[in-house]
Structure 1
Amino acid sequence: MLRRRMLIMLGVVLLIVLVLGSYKAFSIYQQAQQFSVPKPPISVAAAPATERAWQNRLPAVGSLKALQGINLSLEVAGTVKAVQFESGQKVKLGQPLLQLDSDVETALLGTALADLGLAQVDYGRGSQLVGSQAISKGEFDRLTAQLARIKAIVAQLKASLAKKSIVAPFSGTIGIRQVDVGDYLASGTVIATLQDLSSLYADFFVPEQSIPKLALGQKVLVSVAAYPGQDFEGSISAINPKVEDTTRNVMVRATLANPDGKLLPGMFANLQVVLPNPRNEVVVPESAITYTLYGNSVYVVAQKKAEDGQPQLDAAGQPTLIAERRFVETGERRDGMVVISKGLKSGEQVVTAGQLKLTQGAVIAISPDKTIQAEQNSRPAR
């Protein structure tokens, strides 16, 4: 009886083992079938490498300065009697801007003018009397000296009186006023800023090895953060004849018109000096480049070859496309494009989106790159 039970238990165990083994074998078979099924192609975006006339540019950064710009301040102390401008007003050359209390100087000038009149009368009478020898030559010399001294006093008082007021030294736009009527101002107090915004200077530095590329009158494109995508055209007006000892850079000044008054002094500017002699270069979208420590590379769209060397066709009868990684030498970048100086030919297609999913030889399917199309539609013509 015991032997029979043991045989039954052994048969049950063998049956369970066979069931589990069959299930495992079926699972391994299914996995093998999945691996044997070809992977679907990876969807990527691609764009052709094109050859175009490329005008090299020398990039730089700088700041904008007014053609003429000063802080209006006083040479003498005094109390403000009248403010003759409004903040942000456009003023003309010689226009009165501020008047200090000048009652004391005016009274002194009146006294000096009275003395001057008497001195002129004495001098005129003396010039007649000295001719008839009614007075001595020494007395006439004293009258002459007295007239000259009083004239100098009058000129001095007029100069002091003139310093009690401020007039516009040039035409421009005046800033926010810093004083009010009745304020006592010490000498040197700034009352406002005056800027001539009709034209602007853009001062920037370039490395000393770039000096041979620069010339007076050379075109410069200026852009500022306030107006993204807009370039303001200027030209090089001066090159400093000295290299800075600490940085080995050379200061360059460009002049640009500002008829609409959009640009303001002090703005940070990105500049591009347009270099002469454009050349034909192979360019690709910047998104196609993969930057690594070992070098820059692109994925080139190629046709998969069969064993006989002929293009391998897919189920639809079209050539099977694969991605081939290729290392390239890159050059200048501008407007979303990169110059390829070595490693790529014009007309070859490169992957512009989806590179992270790719490996060497991966099968791919090309779909439109909507990002590049949107950038091209929104980018202004240059």
Structure 2
Amino acid sequence: MLRRRMLIMLGVSLVVVLLLAAYKAFAIYQQIQGFTKPQPPVSVAVVTAVEQPWQQRLPAVGAFKALRGVSLSLETAGTVKDVQFESGQKVQVGQPLVRLDSAVEQAQLETAQSDLGLAQLDYGRGSQLVGDHAISKGEFDRLSAQLQKNKATVNQLKASLAKKHILAPFSGVIGIRQVDVGDYLASGTVIATLQDLSSLYVDFYIPEQSVPKIAIGQGVQVEVSAYPKQMFPGTVSAINPKVETTTRNVLVRATLANPDNKLLPGMFANLQVLLPNPTVHIVVPESAITYTLYGNSVYAVAQKKAEDGSVEKDADGQPLLIAERRFVETGERRGGLVLVTRGLQQGEQVVSAGQLKLDTGTPITISPDKNQSADRQARVEGAL
């Protein structure tokens, strides 16, 4: 009886083991079928690598300076009698700006002019008397010297009196005034700034190895943070004939027109110097490049081939497409485009969207991108 029970238990255990083994084998079979089952193609957007003229540019940063800009200050001390301008006003050359109290200097000038009149009369009488030998030649020379001295005194006082008035040295926009009527100002006190904004300079530095690429008259494109979507054209107007010994850079100056007074002195400028002779290069959208620590790469569109080298085709007779990862060397990036110097040929198609699901050999299908042509054309125009 005991033996029979043991045989039954062994039989049941064997059946259970066989069932578990069969279930496990079936699960493994299903996984194998899942791995061997063809993966559906990944839908991607592609773009064709083309050759186009590429305007080489030399990037730099700089700062704006006014064509003419000064800080108006006083040469002599005095009390402000009259302020003849408003902050931010446009002034013309020679326009009076500030007048100091000049009563003392005016009185001294009137006294000197009286002395000058008397000296002129004495000189006139002396010139007649010396001809008649009524006075000596030495006395006449003294009268002549006195006349010259009095003239010099009058001129000196007139110059001193003129310094009590500040006139605009050139036409421009005057800044915020720093003085009021009644203020006592010491010599050298700044009353306001005056800037000629009709044209501006932008000074920037370039490395010494780039000096052969720069010449007077070359075009520059300037961008400022105040107007991020607007480019301001200018030309190189001066190159400093000296290399800075500490930085090994050369100072360059460009001149820009500023008819709308949008640009102001002191603004930070991002600029690009347009180098001559544009060259033809292969260009692709920047979205087609995958940047990694191991190098930059693209996914090129290739035809799937069988073991015998023939192209595999689908049910409609069209070649099957796969992604082929290819490492490339890139150059300058600008306007959403990137220069490819090595690894791509003209006319090859590369994936521009959908790379995250790709690997070498992944089946792909091309999806049309309606905005691709218009966007690409806009980026190309921006790159030239």
Contact 1:352 1:369 in 2 (8 A): no
Question: For residues 2 and 106 of structure 1, what CA distance do their matches in structure 2 show?
Answer: 144
Residues 1:95 and 2:92 aligned together = no
Partner of 2:105: 105
Distance 1:221 1:158 in 2: 50
Is 1:348 aligned with 2:348?
yes
Cα-Cα RMSD:
2.4
Structure 1, 1-10 or 31-40: larger mean CA deviation: 1-10
Aligned partners of 1:229 and 1:379 also within 8 Å: no
Distance, in Å, in 1 between the alignment partners of 2:375 and 2:114 is 80
**Structure 1 partner of 2:130:** 130
Q: Report % sequence identity.
A: 73
Residue equivalent to 1:43: 43
Amino acid corresponding to residue 114 of structure 1 in structure 2? S
- CA shift in 2, pair 1:30/1:309, >3 Å: same
1:73 is the counterpart of 2:73: yes
Contact 2:51 2:283 in 1 (8 A): yes
Give the Cα separation in 2 of the matches to 1:345 and 1:290: 18
Task: Call closer, same or farther: CA 1:366–1:181 in 2, change over 3 Å.
Answer: farther
Partners of 2:377 and 2:331 in 1: how far apart?
25
* Equivalent residue, structure 1, for 2:193: 193
Question: Would the alpha carbon gap of residues 368 and 129 (structure 1) be closer, same or farther in structure 2, given more than 3 Å must change?
Answer: farther
SS at match of 2:32: helix
Structure 1 residues 147 and 345, CA gap change in structure 2 (3 angstroms): same
CA shift in 2, pair 1:248/1:269, >3 Å: same
Q: Deviations over 1:102-142 (max 9, x none)?
A: 22212221222222222222222222222222222222222
Residue aligned with 1:259, SS? coil
Change (3 A) 1:374 1:178: farther
For residues 155-175 of structure 1, what are the alpha-carbon distances to aligned partners after superposition, in whole Å with 9 as ceiling and x for unaligned?
Answer: 111111111121111111111
CA distance in 2, matches of 1:330, 1:83: 62
How far apart, CA to CA, are the structure 1 residues paired with 2:174 and 2:232? 24
Cα distance in structure 2, aligned partners of 1:381 and 1:324: 30
Deviations 1:298-318 (A, max 9, x none): 221111112232221235543
Q: 1:60 to 1:315 in 2, by over 3 A?
A: same
Structure 1 unpaired stretches of 5+: none
Contact 1:119 1:147 in 2 (8 A): yes
Secondary structure (helix, strand or coil) at the match of 1:217 reads coil
Q: For residues 267-278 of structure 1, what are the structure 2 equivalents within 5 Å? A: 267-278=267-278
In structure 1, the partner of 2:260 is 260
Q: Which runs of 5+ in 2 are unaligned?
A: none
Write the distance in 2 (CA, Å) between the matches of 1:107 and 1:370: 85
Query: 1:86, 1:177 within 8 Å by CA — same for their partners in 2?
Result: yes
TM-aligned CA deviation for residue 68 of structure 1: 0.7
- Are the aligned partners of 1:66 and 1:201 in contact in 2 as well (CA < 8 Å)? yes
Distance 1:371 1:60 in 2: 33
Distance change (3 Å), C-alpha of 1:73 and 1:368: farther
| Partner Cα distance (1:176, 1:245) in 2 | 39
- Residues 191 and 368 of structure 1: is their aligned pair in 2 closer, same or farther, counting only changes over 3 Å? farther
Matches within 5 A, 1:326-345: 326-345=326-345
TM-fit CA distance, 1:55: 2.3
One-letter code of the match for 1:141? D
* Contact kept? 1:353, 1:369, Cα under 8 Å: no
Q: Give 1:307's aligned residue.
A: 307
Amino acid at match of 1:233: P
Give secondary structure in 2 for the equivalent of 1:298: strand
Aligned mates of 1:376, 1:343 — CA distance in 2: 21
Letter paired with 1:345: Q
The amino acid of 2:180's aligned partner reads: D
Query: Are the counterparts in 2 of residues 206 and 250 from structure 1 also a CA contact under 8 Å?
Result: yes
Q: Does structure 1 residue 205 correspond to structure 2 residue 225?
A: no
1:379, CA displacement in angstroms? 5.8
Query: After superposition, where does 1:351-362 map in structure 2 within 5 Å?
Result: 351-362=351-362
Structure-1 residue corresponding to 2:117: 117
Offset, 1:19: 4.1
Question: Relative to structure 2, which stretch is displaced further, 144-153 or 368-377?
Answer: 368-377
Deviations 1:189-219 (A, max 9, x none): 2211111111111211222222222222122
* CA distance in 2 between partners of 1:371 and 1:82 (Å): 65
Distance 1:204 1:33, change over 3 A: same
- CA separation in 2, counterparts of 1:125 and 1:370? 103
Secondary structure of residue in 1 paired with 2:229: coil
Matches within 5 A, 1:235-246: 235-246=235-246
- Contact 1:89/1:175 (<8 A) preserved: yes
Q: Once the 2 structures are TM-superposed, how far is the Cα of residue 97 of structure 1 from its aligned partner?
A: 1.0
TM-score (norm 1): 0.91
Q: Cα distance 1:19–1:40, how it changes in 2: closer, same or farther (>3 A)?
A: same
